[in-house]
Chains A and B, each alone.
Chain A
């Protein structure tokens, strides 16, 4: 494995450990250290992604790396405005998983079957990953929302509750993640459909296509219900997480070349 990539993964892992430690023992120094390390990791991944781009090493690993990088960057920016310090551990853990996936697929056979100069394919994957980063953030926040709501209902976990962001803040952040991610994801699926039709002539309905459509439908329902029927809280959070689980299955299928 490339040394820089290994350091990048280790840095995400160390950030996760620091965030978890700051949840366990809330010392300002620990949290500052975690934020600082994650910021350094983002810089490191900027160099890494840049080097992949420069060597034209395009592939799924680039998008996975970009997702980890984008998720961390979005979190760092938002944490300056919202009281979401408690979300650091899940964001960093998610970024670590994405970075490990990037490392796994980096040296596999190219998973993109179309030529790289194919703008349709390039746009499809690019838009999909931007959308997925935002939707993954919404899902991560929703997981914490569900945990916080459960503890408040059961009147347990007083210490941990105080270290997590307030319910309403998480609900709003999840909505924003959906609002940003859904249009990108929709466009990506439209371009993906066009690409599939172009390559395969519309014959054969693969499981990945169906799952992608299901995930899109779930996000659509949540967003529609949130914006029109005033859905919020637990139900919206559960569906957002469900949508992400389906999306991750689709991403895994593509990343591992199982499509």
Chain B
């Protein structure tokens, strides 16, 4: 069984096209069932995320799968195959395996190294497996893809560094406080980026979230959305004593927090570390307070700079991941091919063994009076002849089975040695 994949992604299709062909979770199994209905197609898997729609199929002969699959996908989006064609990519055999491994390892993702794709792939596979449209070929390939993705994540730094401003803020907070379960976050203002950063920190399991705003209504509404406690901005000095992580995101002109105001706060905090994320432009916090002991302040440029560095870092790590994925894909294809060759090899050995036994029995029957030592010599001669004749053939079959025309070689071997002849 060979693998075939046809799909479109953020690399080949704009969002208008991708959204048109997106497949909801409910529609995955029916579509996969339709794929299985294509002549010669035994197994199917449909993967649909916001950045890609892909149909994987396993078949004895994948050469004719491209057009019916493209027609199926075009039909799904209510477009003609000709409209869809420029946005499609297709891979067969080893290239399809390599593509699957790359997708699972997040090398094909828009943000390289993002972890969501693996979960999405697992969910799609589970739906198709439960629907009974996957078989041993796809299951083996997908399981190996999961293992490869795990190896890539643990052996390269592809997913180690955060690449969004909010996740950089969470990462920095962890470098200061470690376990965020003991940290309280204070969000000052109602800017969008501030809200996003607070949401990320909340998601990282902080102890509590305080939301301060000049407008009590806005504070209440925002606190409700984020699951925090609304507070008045007039309480800022007290709130700074309570909070460990402060996000400022107000439209105020002038500094809300400066050296003079923070010094008594630090004393009241008993000099516990404080991490201030100033996302506002113009800035809400005097950058000079970074000189105070146990105070760490990052503005939006600092966060963006780190995110940019991390992204470049991921790209560098992706090179190592590419090599790892290529090696794994080649190994997997070889394993599968050698498994395909096994029945032929076994049949050939059995055939040779049967012939040897038959001819030995005839020869020994003609050589009456042969003592045991000479009988043994004849048997060894037959054994060696068979082994020497088979050695080169079997080596070539094992090697050739992994080549693109491996099927033809196996068929020729079976024909030459009459391995499928029932009279043998």
Contacts and interface: CB of A to CB of B under 8 A. Distances in A.
Interface of A: 26-28, 83, 148, 152-153, 155, 158-159, 161-162, 164-169, 171, 229-235
Interface in B177-201: 177-179
A235 B292 CA distance: 11
A28 B151 CA distance: 11
Interface in B300-316: 302, 305-306, 309-310, 313
A-side interface mostly? helix
Interface stretch (B2-10, B77-85, B155-163): B155-163
Given A26-B160, A153-B290, A169-B178, 6 more contacts: A152-B176, A162-B161, A162-B171, A166-B176, A230-B270, A233-B293
A233 B298 contact: no
B296 A232 contact: no
Given A152-B296, A233-B271, A167 B176 contact: yes
B172 interface: yes
A148 B175 contact: yes
Contact of A165 (B161, B171, B178): B178
B272 interface: yes
A169 B176 CA distance: 8
A234 B176 CA distance: 13
13 contacts: A155-B298, A158-B310, A159-B161, A161-B175, A162-B161, A162-B171, A164-B175, A167-B175, A167-B178, A168-B176, A168-B178, A234-B293, A234-B294
Contacts of B296: 152-153
A155 B305 CA distance: 10
Contact of A166 (B174, B306, B309, B313): B174
A83 B174 CA distance: 11
B273 interface: yes
Which residue of A83, A162, A165 has the most chain B CB atoms within 10 A of its CB atom?
A162
B210 to A, nearest CB: 20
Which residue of B160, B294, B309 has the most chain A CB atoms within 10 A of its CB atom?
B294
A33 to B, nearest CB: 14
B302 A155 contact: yes
B154 interface: yes
Interface string B376-412: 0000000000000000000000000000000000000
Contacts of A233: 271, 273, 293-294
Contacts of B155: 27
Nearest to B313: A159
Interface string B279-301: 00000000000100110101000
A158 B161 contact: yes
Contact of B293 (A162, A165, A169, A235): A235
Contacts of A28: 154
A234 B296 CA distance: 12
B172 to A, nearest CB: 7
Nearest to B290: A153
B270 A162 contact: no
B160 A162 contact: yes
A234 B160 CA distance: 28
Given A153-B290, A168-B176, A158 B306 contact: yes
Which residue of A155, A165, A232 has the most chain B CB atoms within 10 A of its CB atom?
A155
A235 B155 CA distance: 38
A229 B296 CA distance: 21
B161 A168 contact: no
A233 B266 CA distance: 12
Contacts of B310: 158
A168 B271 contact: no
B309 A158 contact: yes
A27 to B, nearest CB: 6
A162 B174 CA distance: 9
B419 to A, nearest CB: 46
B25 to A, nearest CB: 34
Given A27-B155, A153-B290, A155-B306, A162 B175 contact: yes
A28 B156 CA distance: 10
A171 to B, nearest CB: 8
Contacts of A148: 175
Given A158-B161, A159-B313, A232 B272 contact: yes
Contacts of B161: 158-159, 162
A153 B154 CA distance: 29
A180 B306 CA distance: 39
Contacts of A26: 157, 160
A166 B293 contact: no
Interface string B122-166: 000000000000000000000000000000001101001100000
Contacts of B273: 167-168, 171, 232-233
Contacts of A158: 161, 306, 309-310
Contacts of B172: 152
Nearest to A152: B296
Given A155-B302, A158-B309, A162-B160, A167 B177 contact: yes
Nearest to A155: B302
Contact of B271 (A27, A166, A169, A232): A232
Nearest to A232: B271
Which residue of B172, B179, B290, B293 has the most chain A CB atoms within 10 A of its CB atom?
B293
Interface in B252-284: 270-273
A235 B270 CA distance: 13
Nearest to B305: A155
B207 to A, nearest CB: 13
A169 B177 CA distance: 7
Contacts of B174: 166
Nearest to A169: B178
Contacts of B179: 166
A152 B273 CA distance: 12
